[in-house]
Homo-oligomer: A and B are copies of this chain.
């Protein structure tokens, strides 16, 4: 894509009220815009990253047997009254229409999926099943100072699983936990993300959070780096450590962001909505449920927080908006630009996603913007390379550029996927 056709541009500064580093960088680099506290729009570059993350998550949800659907944002009040959360959930938005009738804006979807499942689950033969969605949630966050890590409006992948008994849930829960580990590895956070024991509620000792270490984190966790496990501060005590076989002296206190969580809901919601199934003997039993969430914007913001350097964003290759940032240094319409344009077309035909900096700007500005935007490979065509059959290639994470031929560049891109 031509950079001049992106609609958005890099900006000299973010709004003064933006205190989060993730949002400040993403706004300056042209990935998002802040509409109001806790509310952001995704510009074309930001949407490309979001879609890459979505596709990684979708493949993993499908791999554990999930099936995608899309639930509504408006929820009937009576469903929330039934579970007691109309009153108890502080951050639930309530909306009235002109007749004064109230509805909820969905903050989570147990109140929709559970009564919906009653239409389709009646027998053990209908179980297990695990619908999921990518959908916009609304939560009335009082402090919205964390950029896209904690929005009042945000896209979430939420999956809900339905089982005949606790054993079957446990099996699925473990499979999904492994799928989550693969997701956070694929988006580039594998090294800094820990399966973390947190409070479990009524139906199990623990829930599991996926916590990514970064100084921007709002959670405190205790990490055993060797065992690749952690414990959330909320359950951190001697009894829990003993139960988990962890030793105090192996644990380090860290700030972290919760990028995903999985939870045993037991029969909390199936009992509220009378969701039962008949077993082989014709006996009725409540369905056992689990839920599994990942906030996509939060995950995107966490990647920025965890990997950015002093020059700007650093995108992992799997989720980068483009693979290559192609920069010609030469006059508009001159030979260098023509050579760069030919290279752009060659890369595009080869299916390599390339952002072509066709702007009329100085070299310094182009380089600074490329570092800010954070595309994995910067490729420069200039008077220096013109006619040599080589181009200048620099990885965003490396300091030194290398002169490569087109074929060597392709080989390097392939290597990085091996």
Contact = CB atoms under 8 A, between A and B. Distances in A.
Interface of A: 4-9, 11, 33, 35-36, 39-44, 46-47, 50, 65, 67-76, 90, 93, 95, 97-98, 103, 105, 112, 116, 119-120, 125, 129-131, 136, 138, 140, 142, 152-153
Contact of A6 (B36, B67, B73, B136): B67
B42 A69 contact: yes
Given A93-B95, A112-B41, A74 B9 contact: no
Contact of A72 (B44, B119, B131, B153): B153
B44 A98 contact: no
Contacts of A119: 8-9, 11, 33
Contacts of A50: 70
A5 to B, nearest CB: 6
Contact of A35 (B6, B65, B75, B138): B75
Number of this chain's copies in the complex: 2
Nearest to A77: B36
A40 B8 contact: no
A2 to B, nearest CB: 10
A70 B42 contact: yes
B97 A70 contact: no
Contact of A95 (B11, B42, B44, B105): B105
Given A8-B120, A9-B119, A44 B74 contact: no
Nearest to A120: B9
A189 B405 CA distance: 50
Given A8-B120, A33-B119, A153-B73, A67 B44 contact: yes
Contacts of A70: 41-42, 46-47, 50
A159 to B, nearest CB: 11
A47 B69 contact: yes
Contact of A39 (B41, B74, B90, B138): B74
A8 B43 CA distance: 35
Nearest to A152: B74
Contact of A36 (B7, B8, B11, B103): B103
Contact of A40 (B44, B72, B97, B125): B72
Contact of A129 (B7, B67, B93): B7
Q: Which 9 residue pairs are nearest across A and B when measured between Cβ atoms?
A: A42-B70, A41-B71, A39-B74, A7-B131, A36-B76, A39-B72, A35-B72, A7-B67, A44-B67
Contacts of A11: 119
A95 B98 contact: no
Most central of A33, A50, A112 by chain B CB within 10 Å: A33
Given A65-B5, A153-B72, A131 B44 contact: yes
A36 B4 CA distance: 45
13 contacts: A5-B129, A7-B67, A7-B130, A33-B119, A36-B103, A41-B69, A41-B116, A43-B69, A44-B69, A50-B70, A73-B153, A74-B138, A90-B98
Contacts of A76: 35-36
A6 to B, nearest CB: 7
Contacts of A142: 98
